[in-house]
Amino acid sequence: MKQHLQTLLETALAHLVANGELPAAAAAQLPPLERARDPQHGDFASTVALSLTKLARQPPRQLAERIVAALPASPQVAEVSIAGPGFINFRLAPSAYHAVIADILAQGPQFGRCDLGAGQTIQVEFVSANPTGPLHVGHGRGGAYGAVVADLLTAVGYTVHREYYVNDAGRQMDILATSVWLRYLELCGELLPFPSNGYKGDYVWDIAAALHREQGDAYRADADVVFADLPADARADLPADDPAAGDKEAHIDGLIARAKHLLGDHHYRLVFELGLNIILDDIRDDLAQFGVVYATWYSERSLAERGAVAQVISRLQASGHTYTQDGALWFRASNFGDEKDRVLIRDNGQTTYFATDIAYHADKFERGFARILDIWGADHHGYVPRIKAALLALGHPAERLDVHLVQFAILYRGGERVQMSTRSGEFVTLRELRREVGRDAARFFYVMRKSEQHLDFDLDLAKSQSNDNPVYYVQYAHARVSSVLRQAVERGLMPETSAGLTHLERLTEPQELALIKTLARYAEIVVSAATGVQPHLLTQYLRELAGDFHSYYNAHQFLVPDAALFDARLKLILATRQVLRNGLELLGVSAPDAM
């Protein structure tokens, strides 16, 4: 309906331009059109006359009168009026809304989908958690958000490439490998002080046990040799500025170097790969069970192995965007909008994570994506300008990179906050969350708020079977329609409906009209949620639609003896069920027929 009204406005403007009443530029842009805030003013409103008043050199109300006079007649429009300084208000005919029901039933699962994106390619990279442990509930929010955004973009006609960037290189992976080896040594019978900066979760024990089953004591070393002459670890009983407090970073780095030396390159690499592969396999399985599947799992190590990191650094050097200071190579990020310059190669000769990320994003552009969408955790806020600065320095159109930050999810159980710490291993995994509240509730709850807002996840509410639980409330509306159909069959009534718009004029009750108008907004909501990267708009809409249906269900009987009214009401609730199902599918949530 909105598209139809915009076409009418475009036709009117083109007519005025052709008659010389408006300059050609007046028809160059899509005329603004929004749903009316006050139903008393109509269904849609346009400010086109106000936006064109300077260009047309006419008072907006006078211009509005000319536009309205040039509007083609339409059976879908009952009334056009002008309000205030020049607002053009449209009131639709009942037949326009009735047509929506027929469209929903005819299009079925395709209703709400469109070709707005015209097949343009968008790469969506999301989650990309370091494979140093199981996914926790914070990763789950990024996973749900990214998956729904990708599905929404697909629904409006984009070709979406889903990608997970595997951070399979660098210091954190070395800390994991060393943690696994130390736990392995304990299983071999060695007594040792586990480093404060090591990974302490039970999953590290599991990997160490796998290593011990495979290798026996072949990788064993004496604990005294392992810890000899290392920098002291941090002491929790002393303040950090105390000279005797120790240094946890220097201690773990010393352990990493000692592990590499005692194991040798080959054996160390086997420990490293074992930890990486077990955790990465667990992440793949966990996300798949959560309904998150990727086209590509992109290896960070592959960038260095094929020389991509060295290549982008050379390009930045050749273009004069680097300098050397204190033995390190710096990128002049401040010349491209970043708050300060950034290190590419440290004074010890090692490249930084930032240098690798530049190479990764340069590769994204070189793969030819029309748009690149990164979904990162909120702690990466300061990282956005430096990546865009590097892309600009390399000559890439940085405006094609869109970064959305996802805030943390805070769990509550019994009104109390659930405390978590990733390094200590004290956290709720995504798998545990799914087992406790179910995949449907987790997916729905994760996208109920804007990504930049903190999410308070109430575990008790997510498990409850009540109208206060939003996912239950929406799913129950779908199940209620199915229940009505089962009752119809039990009573010997045929659930098939007549074709087209037949009998829909019988839908005149306030609850029916409200439900129909909400159904008519679905396609617009999908486009807004997709193009604005705001899946919470869809959850809000589905809750509103479910509310309208429940009100209708409580106010009226559907299985009535009047055959024409029965037919019309059956069409309406079938259309409602279809839209609920379509919307829930985009959220990755099931649409049960019974609850």
> Which sequence spans correspond to the domains of the chain?
2-92, 121-168+288-406, 171-281, 466-587
* pLDDT above 90 (res 342): yes
The per-residue b/e assignment along 413-450, b for 16 or more CB within 10 angstroms, e otherwise, is eeeeeeebebbebebbbbbebbeebbbbbbbbbbbbbb
Residue from 453, 439, 442, 359 nearest 404 by CA:
453
pLDDT at residue 240, as a whole number? 79
The pLDDT of 408-436, averaged and rounded, is: 82
* pLDDT above 80 (res 427): no
Choose the CATH number for 2-92 among 3.60.110.10, 3.30.479.30, 3.30.70.3460, 3.30.1360.70. 3.30.1360.70
pLDDT at residue 494, as a whole number? 74
What's the pLDDT band for 382 if we cut at 50, 70, 90?
confident
pLDDT at residue 425, as a whole number? 54
pLDDT at residue 421, as a whole number? 57
What's the pLDDT band for 56 if we cut at 50, 70, 90?
confident
The pLDDT of 97-106, averaged and rounded, is: 95
Using a pLDDT cut of 90, give the percent of the chain over it.
88
* pLDDT above 60 (res 181): yes
* pLDDT above 70 (res 49): yes
pTM above 0.85, yes or no: yes
Architecture of the domain made up of 466-587: Orthogonal Bundle (1.10)
Cβ burial of 454 (10 Å; 0-12, 13-18, 19+) is exposed
- The β-bridge partners of 325 are 328
* pLDDT above 80 (res 369): yes
Looking at beta carbons, which pairs linking 37-43 to residues 24 or more positions away fall under 8 Å? 41/81, 41/83, 41/87, 41/89, 42/79, 42/81, 42/89, 42/90, 42/91, 42/92, 43/1, 43/90, 43/91, 43/92, 43/517
**CB atoms < 10 A from the CB of 106, how many?**
11
Q: Which residue has the higher pLDDT, 226 or 243?
A: 226
Three state DSSP letters for 272-310 = HHHHHHHHHHHHHHHHHHCCCCCCEEEEHHHHHHCCHHH
| Distance (Å, whole) CA 49 – CA 68 | 10
* pLDDT above 80 (res 323): yes
The pLDDT of 99-108, averaged and rounded, is: 96
What's the pLDDT band for 209 if we cut at 50, 70, 90?
very high
CATH of domain 121-168+288-406: 3.40.50.620
| Distance (Å, whole) CA 412 – CA 445 | 13
End-to-end C-alpha distance for the chain, whole angstroms: 34
Residue from 107, 79, 1 nearest 517 by CA:
1
Listed ranges 33-47, 309-323, 401-415; the one with the highest mean pLDDT: 309-323
pLDDT at residue 419, as a whole number? 73
* pLDDT above 80 (res 278): yes
pLDDT at residue 292, as a whole number? 98
What's the pLDDT band for 26 if we cut at 50, 70, 90?
confident
What's the pLDDT band for 565 if we cut at 50, 70, 90?
very high
* pLDDT above 90 (res 61): yes
* pLDDT above 60 (res 424): no
Q: What is the mean pLDDT of the chain?
A: 94
Using a pLDDT cut of 70, give the percent of the chain over it.
99
Q: Are 485 and 545 in contact (CB under 8 A)?
A: no
What's the pLDDT band for 402 if we cut at 50, 70, 90?
very high
Please tell me what DSSP assigns to residue 566: H
CA distances from 534 to 33, 145, 504, 515 (A): 20, 9, 34, 23
pLDDT at residue 426, as a whole number? 63
| Distance (Å, whole) CA 91 – CA 83 | 13
